[in-house]
Amino acid sequence: NFTRLLSDLKVETQPSVMSFGVKCEASGLEYMGSTLNSLFAQRRNLFRPSFWGMIRDILRFNRSAAKILADESNALTLSEHLDMEGYGEAFIKQYLMPMAAAVWSADQNMLKQFPIRYLLQFFQNHGLVQIRNRPEWFVIKGGSKVYAEALTRAHREQIRLATPVTGVRRNNDSVTITSAFGEEIFDAVFIATHSDQALAVLQDPTPEETEILGAIPYQKNDVLLHTDSSLMPARRRAWAAWNYHLLHRSQDAVAVTYNMNILQGFQCEQQYCVTLNNSSAVDPEKVIARIAYHHPVYTPSSVAAQGRQGEINGVNRTYYCGAYWRYGFHEDGVVSALNALKHFAQRGFDQHAE
């Protein structure tokens, strides 16, 4: 759906590299999983039994995916599954948890509560449980702002920027929106925000809206755009697009550096990096921008709430869309918008809560 949208908008894409690697401060471990040369970028890993054990567990985990996904009764969390199957510490701490943390920008304690089938479904959809024939990845030329501009171009004069909505109140035959423009009356409302933001603006949430939207929280991540290449592994052959940091200190939040030269195909010597939650390691003189992003938190409760979207979408002339209804990515945002429109086509303005 997302690629079709980009095609319709005539937004250009280009091939990208979605390689993944780990850099451990305590042990000095470095690897990047794309090739044998990069996997053993640190040659002493050839002689580490724990490293070979990690590789064996990766292959075992990947092979188990199809069987787990076929068992719809499997309600185990990731932590429960790993304990039950006896996976090694190196696999868990130096591969799986860093990989999942980098994908969802989530801390490892939260990741352990992920339903195992939910995680594996995403991994399978994105070719992360196969060693060969992985899908080719693409990025948007110029970044995501290019497709946002293309998507809004035809309606730019009707879009009000820097005009936060402070209240949404549903009536029997209309919806009242409160903002800096005062109160305005509309036939219906589509709320395309984060789940917690959606719940916060509702002045009259139903019990179902409170329960469902409240079950999908968000967490803040501190993000730096910078040119400090010291965040990358010491060995150039271990440089990946996504570089996870295993830190000396207690690690409550995900810490990862994305190499934008690799991701966006920049042809320049200067390295441009984006680092999450490891700002103290970045040279302040090399910081270009600091941004606070918020990402959805996935737990068994939030995944269960996703399945209840139909209970509130279209009720009281209100429709919800956002990537939080699925895995939190661009494709998921588009799918949620299509679902909201589907509910609108079915229900129109006539569906109300009892």
Query: What is the mean pLDDT of each successive set of 10 residues along the chain, which is 354 residues long?
Result: 92 89 89 86 89 94 92 90 94 92 81 88 84 79 91 90 94 93 94 97 97 95 95 92 85 85 90 93 96 89 92 94 93 94 79 50
* Parts of the chain belonging to CATH 3.90.660: 14-137+218-296
Q: What is the spatial distance between Cα 333 and Cα 346, in angstroms, rounded to a whole number?
A: 20
Check residue 354 and give its pLDDT.
46
> Looking at the domain covering 158-214+310-347, what would its CATH class be?
alpha beta
Q: Note the pTM of the prediction, 2 decimals.
A: 0.85
Q: What is the spatial distance between Cα 142 and Cα 165, in angstroms, rounded to a whole number?
A: 30
Work out the burial of residue 225: count CB atoms within 10 Å of its CB; fewer than 13 is exposed, 13-18 middle, 19 or more buried.
Answer: middle
Bridge partners, residue 16, by sequence: 137
CATH code for the part of the protein at 14-137+218-296 = 3.90.660
* Parts of the chain belonging to CATH 3.50.50.60: 158-214+310-347
